[in-house]
Amino acid sequence: MTDAAAAAELVHYDLDGAVATVTLDSPHNRNALSRQLVTELAERLERAEVDADVRVVVLAATGTVFCSGADLSEASAEGMSAGVQAIVGLQRFVVGMSKPVVARVQGAVRAGGIGLVAASDVAVAVRGATFAFSEVKLGLAPAVISLTVLPRLTSRAAAYTFLSGEVFNGDDAVAAGLVTRAVSPDELDEAVGQVCASLATGAPQGLRETKALLARDLLDRIDARADDMAALSARLFASDEAREAMTAFLTRGR
C-alpha cells in the first residue's frame, strides 16, 4: 500500500496472534458511517472472517468518538437509499460472522454506531462513553439499527431512549442490556484483552457453531424485517422535515 493510500484509509486492520483488530479512523466526521467507511469496514471484516488464524475480532475506533452514526452530509445531499441497505448488510455480517466480535467502545456512540455495538457479541465500554438514539430529534427513527438494538435492550429502556433521544453513559448501557461491561478508561485495554484471551481459547468449530446458535434468532429477525426498516429509514431521511433538521444540525456544527 502506498503512503497516499494508507493516509486515505478510513478503516485499519491489524493482526496480533489470534485477534484481528478493525479500527475506524475517520476523524473529520467523527467516524461517521460514510460510503467509504462502510465499504472499508465490510472489507476488513470479511478479511478477518476468511483468515483461518483469526479467532476473535475487535471492533475499535480512534479519537473521542466511537461512531457518530450516519454521515449526515452525505445523507442530506444524496439521500440514504443505498446507505441504509449497506448499514443493514454490515450489521447482518457482524451478527453472522463465525468468530466472536468484541466492540471496544472508547467514546461517544450515536444512532447507527449503536447498531454496530448491538451487532457485536461482546461490548466493553468506558463508563464515560455516551450513547444516544438521536434520530427522533432529527425527524427520523432508529429503524435499521432497531434490527440489532431492540433484542439487546429491555423494553422500558428501549422506549425511553428511543423516544427521548436522551444521552446515557456506559453504566446505563450495561443496565439496559446494550453493553456487556463498563470500565474506567485506564482499564479498557486490559478488559478487552482479557475478553479476547478468554474467547480465543475456544476451538474454531466450537466458536463457529456456538455463534451460529446465538445468532439464529437475530439473523431471522434481520432477514424478515430488513427491507421494511430500510424503506422506512430511506423515506424518513428523504422527508422535508428531516432534511431541514439535518441542514440545521450541520450548520450548527457538532
Beta bridge partners of 19: 16, 56
Compute the distance between CA of residue 57 and CA of residue 100 in angstroms, rounded to an integer.
6
168 closest CA partner among 140, 129, 142, 139: 129
Residue 45: in which H helix or E strand, if any? helix 35-50
* Annotation says 135 is catalytic: yes
Q: Which residues contact 146 (CB under 8 A, 6 or more apart)?
A: 162, 229
Q: What is the DSSP string of 65-99?
A: EEE--B-HHHHHHH-SHHHHHHHHHHHHHHHH-SS
Q: Give the active site residue among 40, 135, 187, 244.
A: 135
83 closest CA partner among 91, 75, 73: 75
Compute the distance between CA of residue 154 and CA of residue 162 in angstroms, rounded to an integer.
12
Grid cell 466511537 is found at 66
**Which amino acid is it at 99?**
K
Q: Point out the residues that are catalytic.
A: 135
